[in-house]
Amino acid sequence: MKNSVQPVFDKRNRRSFLKQSVVAAGAATMSAGLLNAPGSFAGQEDDGSNGSLTKGDAAILRFLQVLETIEADLWTQYAELGGATKQGVSLIDLGFTTGISPDYTVALQALDGDMPQYIADNTDDEISHAAWLKAFLESKGADPVDVSKFATLPPSQVTGVPTHGRLTNLMRLTVDTTWWTRYRSDSKNPDLGDTGFANAIPDLANGEHPAIPRNDGDIGTNNLTVNPPIINNHLQAIANTAGFHFAFIEQGGSSLYPSLAQRVHSPEVLRILLSIGPTETSHFQTWHDKAGNAPNITDGDLSFPNLNGSNDPKVAGMFQTNLIMPEPTFFLSRKLPTISIIRPTETEGAAMGAVQAFIDDGLFRGHIVNGKSDGFIELLKDLAEDADEARR
């Protein structure tokens, strides 16, 4: 049975896209015939016995395919400006120009000398995830989701950056860094209802901050010919923001894959999620480590404090930069001993939670202008609802 992506809009009982009368460029092109197309995704459940995907498994894979497409888009922007420049020499050849800004690249290297290679590698992985999930859906007769029409956000204006539109915004971010203390807590777990995790970088959680230089002015004047290079505080703050944003993005995948794996039906689809998920955790572990090396600087109202600067042992333990492995905490029940785990992994509302985290992060700023949406966020929410409704 072929599951078409278009009729994902056919669930009239919960189409916020339509209920809220959103004036969207994407929605305006949808005809009544499309919304009521034969073979609706909302139709009869397929048990997968004929080699096709169940409705729930298809919904989860579609959602993940779009999330990986979003990640590929944002990582491409990071790689364009600060990725390794060894095309044709390195095993990682992304097929587009990288490392366009040597100054930004050097600022990133203040966190680790291998940052450009790690960025290129992470980008390569996310592109492969999106492409593979698309191909797998097609191999099962299920249409993947094409979000290319929503790639309309402006890119960086730094000289040399390709001018085509993007799905994601990296120039006005509000970065949640509570993952830092969540993974250091030995007594709190969001799956058990715990809240109040402190931000490692409180200023990043307020306002809108660029994680890539918006233009040549953001790069400013630097001296790359001395050892160590001299980078102005504004550009270094942009690179520091990127470092913490890298980990924010990848810790989301670390939790999302095991959360959704609990909802899949097919052992084959379960294998897919259990195989991709650990790579996201590998990414997170890398970026978690590098973020702790961010130079302690201030740029206007944005400060990166010395996370190792407290003399209070209780406080120091929550921010110590080399505590990058998950501290044992409570899991499933406080009656059981503590254990080192990925958290959260609660499956209820996991997909919608991931979308909301991206929205709160500011990744989609620009898809709503003057109160009018282009339909992208509504589509993501609909796909997330489909994934969250999947059952074994």
pLDDT digits (tens, 9 = 90+) for 77-131: 999 999 998 766 667 789 999 999 999 999 999 999 999 999 999 999 999 999 9
Backbone phi, psi, residue 364, to 5°:
-110, 15
200 alpha carbon, distance to own chain's centre:
19
CB atoms within 10 A of CB 290: 21
63 is a domain residue: yes
188 is a domain residue: yes
| pLDDT at 303 (0 to 100) | 98
| pLDDT at 49 (0 to 100) | 57
1 is a domain residue: no
- Is 2's pLDDT higher than 60? no
| pLDDT at 85 (0 to 100) | 85
CB atoms within 10 A of CB 87: 16
| pLDDT at 16 (0 to 100) | 43
Given pLDDT bands bounded at 50, 70 and 90, which one contains residue 345? very high
Q: What pLDDT, in 10s, does the model give residues 303-329?
A: 999 999 888 887 888 999 999 999 999
Average pLDDT over residues 44-50: 53
Q: Give the global pTM.
A: 0.88
Host domain of residue 54: 6-388
Q: What pLDDT, in 10s, does the model give residues 207-220?
A: 999 999 999 999 99
H/E element holding 105?
A: helix 102-109
| pLDDT at 133 (0 to 100) | 98
288 is a domain residue: yes
206 is a domain residue: yes
| pLDDT at 20 (0 to 100) | 39
287 alpha carbon, distance to own chain's centre:
13
352 is a domain residue: yes
Given pLDDT bands bounded at 50, 70 and 90, which one contains residue 44? very low
Domains of the chain: total: 1
Is 153 in contact with 166 (CB distance < 8 Å)? yes
Is 137 in contact with 64 (CB distance < 8 Å)? no
